Amino acid sequence: MPRFAANLTYLFTELPMLDRPDWARRTGFDGVEVLFPYDHSPAEWERALAGLPVALINTPPGDWLAGDRGFAARPGDEATFRDGFLRAADYASRMGAANVHVMAGVARGPQAEATYAENLAWAADQAPALRLSVEPLNPEDMPGYFLNDYDQAARILDDLNHPRIGLQFDLWHAARLHGDAGVVWAAHRHRINHVQIAGFPSRNEPGGGGFSLPALCDAVDGMEAVWIAAEYRPAKGTAQGLLWLQALKSRGTLIGA
């Protein structure tokens, strides 16, 4: 059975951030992911996690309110990206994070793609113990974001051909970008090193959208070190909406019995 991570940026928002890992553990998650852990020190995170695994963190986005969404594909911002990546790598090491999502930022054109590829290769060299992921984001949620197509991401990854840089499959974004998340999965599953799920089209509790969560679990179960992370907006309280998690984990227990 795959491991399930609670995205602490989206889930348990009724609680202060550093109280959320304990609630993730209590409610049946195997680990957590945190989009941007940088408002708290690594030492604070270590205490809050108390050994709970961390599946993924993101590189620092910059000034979110001013429109920054990362820097990896932004020509002229190489120094900003590299400083931020080294900070992310330090956090990942201290928190025990297995994967770092490298945020591309708002950019476009061939020079942006070249900058992105160079920065990804540089980042992989700086952190040989980490896996890195790239994630296409839909333009409705992330206007102007450089990486906005799974085929585009595949081309960049194939050109890099680096064993520790993979594709982050977010069911929500895949469906918004391409209409059928199942088609995206079938085309790109061999590149995937991290999975995120949400309901479609509501982005509430996982389910619907023509995508079978049990089938996804079966597929991920055969993929080394790949987590399934819950990145959605709970319709009510987080704990009250976890029947989907209980059902999937119970199914895994029955299969293994």
Strands (E) in 91-146, as ranges, are 99-101, 131-134
Selected catalytic residue, list 33, 113, 205, 231: 231
Q: Which residues contact 15 (CB under 8 A, 6 or more apart)?
A: 23
The pLDDT of residue 235 is 95
Residue 245, CA atoms < 13 Å, CB-side half-sphere: 26
| Across 113-127, 173-187, 204-218, least confident range | 204-218
Domain membership of residue 119 as a residue range: 3-256
**Nearest-CA neighbor of 37 among 119, 81, 94, 80?**
94
Query: Could you tell me the pLDDT band of residue 190, with boundaries at 50, 70 and 90?
Result: very high
Q: At residue 40, what are phi and psi to the nearest 5 degrees?
A: -130, 150
Query: Could you tell me the pLDDT band of residue 253, with boundaries at 50, 70 and 90?
Result: very low
The pLDDT of residue 94 is 97
| CA 49 from centroid of its chain's CA atoms | 18
Q: How far is CA 126 from CA 70, 77, 113, in A?
A: 18, 18, 20
Please report where in the chains the tokens 């029947």 appear, as a residue. Answer: 243
The pLDDT of residue 254 is 39
The pLDDT of residue 257 is 29
**Nearest-CA neighbor of 126 among 191, 82, 168, 163?**
82
Please report where in the chains the tokens 């980490």 appear, as a residue. Answer: 130
Give per-residue pLDDT as tens, 124-172: 999 999 999 999 999 999 999 999 999 999 999 999 999 999 999 999 9
Give per-residue pLDDT as tens, 42-84: 999 999 999 999 999 999 999 999 999 999 999 999 999 999 9
Q: Domains in the chain: how many in total? A: 1
Q: Is 231 known to be catalytic? A: yes
Q: At residue 95, what are phi and psi to the nearest 5 degrees?
A: -85, -10
Copy the structure tokens of residue 110: 């061939």
Q: What is the DSSP letter of 206?
A: S
Q: Which residues contact 212 (CB under 8 A, 6 or more apart)?
A: none
pTM over 0.85: yes
Selected catalytic residue, list 33, 113, 135, 205: 135
Please list the residues that pair with 174 across neighbouring strands: none
- Between CA 147 and CA 153 the distance in angstroms is 7
Cβ atoms of 245 and 4 closer than 8 Å:
yes
- Between CA 8 and CA 81 the distance in angstroms is 24
Copy the structure tokens of residue 182: 């199942």
Give per-residue pLDDT as tens, 73-124: 999 999 999 999 999 999 999 999 999 999 999 999 999 999 999 999 999 9
Q: Assign residue 23 the CATH number of its domain.
A: 3.20.20.150
Q: Is the pLDDT of residue 222 over 90?
A: no
Query: Could you tell me the pLDDT band of residue 252, with boundaries at 50, 70 and 90?
Result: low
- Between CA 32 and CA 54 the distance in angstroms is 5
